[in-house]
Chains A and B, each alone.
Chain A
């Protein structure tokens, strides 16, 4: 039994918690951009956190269920409707065979997660069901879902109707958004003034913001410490001898617009990176809409680890609340 895609939405993909272990071959981790929200959706419907769901961006899909299931929508405020009737977000509800799940217009955030009891049961590719569209790997034939697709559903016990995640356990970016950054990597290539500007300026999310990376605009251009470019790097001061990129790292091609690399990022390349958004804040990046004002906040390793611990504690509270 399956879910029939009547309308795919904008770029709806099958995602789970990702595909670690293949980065050295250029295959990124992929998985949910907001992994906390996918975890919450899964737990609401009685799935393990690792089950695959759908990640919808900006515009929800229209889905016809071919069998009964429990469903939950988390993440962005993309109001669900069942046969046209509103249903609450962050709350489990029953869907009967033949009913159609659709969505109202997006109110806040960027990515909503749709979990169904039993999970989306597309085949595993290198240990994960996540879609990596650039490499045509995972999900529905390596691409976003399309009208007419039949999404296979796994078997799952389902969960009680009406279970909900308390508002204190929902995590979304503020406005302006704040992303904590640990400076490092090739930080030393930029001038002290450029480093200060980066943290002082207010940036805005550019329209080029997707699963590969989020570009930011509006801050002052970067200046570089004078130096002779090393052999093999290329002549622009933002060029380096091609190396690995880090999940969350911030590159600035040409020294103008910082790009935060995300789940489907290229694994390496020849642009310098100035540091990385800390792991605890990566979920927030995927919920930023274009034009959202954003500040980068400088932190040290100790603060990064404290934030990581805090996020882990919140996930533990989520498990406690929904088990």
Chain B
């Protein structure tokens, strides 16, 4: 059999391993053809991943050992200099601490909120679809829109938040400055809990009705069956939400969008509590043009995320319950 229908791209792929022994298949030629076809189909991602992910990361790794600032013609290799500086830079540690605090508060809160909403809108309600849509809506609002909306809402003078406090006789708070800025940041995350709601909802609807019915016959309370059936069956979804939530919270640019001055130079003037690790990277990168140092910061962050993700998986390995469905989970 010929391979004339398959462009030669597959043949030119250097990283494609030679088709291995194909003993288990009745028609070797068909198997070979499928191997080549697989690499032809996977090639956009393989090439893209190599050029647009691996290459930039390798470049960043190289830069992290230099004093490159993007402008000066003279820059040099400094070995682990940037990394040494990073470890003695109090801003690194402080911003890392704030980022960790932000992640461990905002992620569980938004997962609880999203799951709570999912349980609510999973009930037989009138206008259920409308509630679902309206609660999901903030999740599609682009970050810039959300940033401006929250800036108006929490403005010290003209914001509705202080207007409401005023009704109760409470003095206006400086929401967007310390110490309250961190709470506004968490609220921006909670505002998009509809995202988690939608995915949890799909998970809820997959729980076999018979299980819940059986629990009810056995006299289990609603809370008990939620705890003993719903949560364990939903645990893979919750794990997915935790991992993606942590990664998203580490990368949030919301502090920048909430800043009075959203330019790179304004990053350094952020309220202390919202000066997260990524803001520190931006400041070093844009405000000070220290590309080498910022690259070192990014690589440290990358390693920390890998470690954190690994720890999350490890910590939950005994708790997360995978439904035995060999086709769906691979």
Question: Do the two chains belong together in a single complex?
Answer: no
